[in-house]
Amino acid sequence: MTDVKAEPAIFDAAPAHPEEIRSVFDLRVGNHITLQGKLRITPAGLVCSGLAVAMMGFGLGYIARSLSRRNW
């Protein structure tokens, strides 16, 4: 069997933003499955994500409200 080495992810080699927020997590499922994850986000990205979720919520609320007005 050959040994395979994993290369570092692109965000490990990228320069850090002065205000970025980092998070690292390990998720174990049972005895044999381990998932590792890393997250990088800036405050501007966090605000934009919140606005996107809010706009989707308003849109879905509008659709749900208009469906309940119809007579089936």
In 3-state terms the chain splits into helix, strand, coil percentages (rounded to 5) of: 45, 25, 30
The pair of structure tokens assigned to 10 is: 């692109």
Distances (CA, A) of 56 to 10, 41, 47, 51, 60: 30, 21, 14, 9, 6
47 confidence band (pLDDT: 50, 70, 90): very high
Q: Which own/partner contact pairs does 5-9 have at CB distance under 8 Å and 24+ positions apart?
A: 9/38
| pTM of this prediction exceeds 0.95 | no
Give residue-wise pLDDT tens across range 29-42. 988 899 999 888 89
Region of poorest pLDDT, from 37-41, 58-62, 67-71: 67-71
Q: Which of 5-9, 28-32, 54-58 has the highest mean pLDDT?
A: 54-58
Give the model's pLDDT for residue 18: 79
